[in-house]
Amino acid sequence: MFVTFEGIEGTGKTTQIARLRDHLESRGREVFLTREPGGSRVGRELRQMLLHVNNSDLTAITELFLYLADRAQHVAQVVRPQLEAGRVVLCDRFADSTIVYQGFGRGLDIDMLRQLNEVAVDGVWPDLTIVLDLDPEVGLERATRRNSEDGKAMAEGRFEAEHLSFHRRIREGYLTWAALNRDRIKVADASSGSDEVFGRVRALIESHLPGLA
Ligand code: Z5A
């Protein structure tokens, strides 16, 4: 089983994915947790390039190809082997981030992005994708608070530096894209406390992947 989490900055993906891993492991599942960008050795180098605040001059196309390169390496070296080994793979962002950030966010052609994603994922599509939905002002506030506590802003602040209108487009993009892919992508309200949000995540897993939890 391959489950991905998506959503705007600070929506709680990292928090919820860790909770889901603990929950599934307590039920005897072997779980592998990963993320994009940066889920492979080479990907970790690409992640630094992609997220560093100093790289604000990356063109939209350069950014796109770096994310796709990260994904191709991640799928080949990490996601596919883990799935073949029988593990449940939980991934913090995947191909839908490219559609939403580079498409709805940067204005690149969605159909082109779909085709390039097909090349990068090489047949490995998630069984279920959960979009955590949140007002961007709340998400950015949560992310900023977290960054000031762990120093992340210094190293990985390129997207936080985007204007609020960019993050609003991203939120709308996720909702539009989810509506176009109802079978695979489910939206969960992420505006309440972590326990309540996890209740929604569990409910989605139980109803859409009944064999898993
Ligand atoms: N990107 C792209 O453009 N194209 C692509 O193809 C891909 C990615 C794959 C990667 O960012 C950036 O790359 C991303 C899109 C772009 N940029 N943006 N924006 P990242 O991986 O560094 O970061 P992120 O994915 O945006 O997530 P995040 O900022 O790390 O946030 P999060 O994982 O969703 O949230 P969190 O870390 O779990 O929670 C944030 C804080 O809120 C933290 O202090 C928590 O304790 C707190 N929290 C969590 N849940 C709650 C609730 N329910 N209530 C209150 N507080 C909470």
Structure tokens at 92: 């913090």
Q: Are 10 and 142 in contact (CB under 8 A)?
A: yes
pLDDT, one tens digit per residue, over 51-78 is 998 898 999 999 999 999 999 999 999 9
Q: Are 39 and 78 in contact (CB under 8 A)?
A: yes
pLDDT, one tens digit per residue, over 164-206 is 999 999 999 999 999 999 999 999 999 999 999 999 999 999 9
- Host H or E run for residue 88: strand 88-92
Q: Which of 61, 135, 141, 142 to mutate to test the pocket of ligand 1 (most atoms within 8 A of CB)?
A: 142
Q: Which of 74, 92, 97 to mutate to test the pocket of ligand 1 (most atoms within 8 A of CB)?
A: 97
Neighbours of 79 (CB within 10 A): 26
Ligand 1 atom closest to residue 5's alpha carbon, by position in its atom list: 34
Site residues for ligand 1, CB cut-off 6 Å? 7, 9-15, 36-37, 51, 67, 93, 97-98, 101-102, 142-143, 145-146, 156, 159, 193-194, 197
The verdict on whether omega for the bond into residue 210 sits within 30 degrees of 0, i.e. cis, is: no
**What's phi and psi for 145, nearest 5 deg?**
-60, -45
Q: Are 6 and 96 in contact (CB under 8 A)?
A: yes
Interval between CA 7 and ligand 1 midpoint (Å):
8
* Average pLDDT along the chain: 94
Q: Are 31 and 87 in contact (CB under 8 A)?
A: yes
Complete domains list, the chain, with CATH:
2-208 (3.40.50.300)
Give me the pLDDT at residue 159, please.
81
Interval between CA 115 and ligand 1 midpoint (Å):
26
Give me the pLDDT at residue 154, please.
57
Q: Which of 47, 101, 137 to mutate to test the pocket of ligand 1 (most atoms within 8 A of CB)?
A: 101
Q: Are 93 and 102 in contact (CB under 8 A)?
A: no
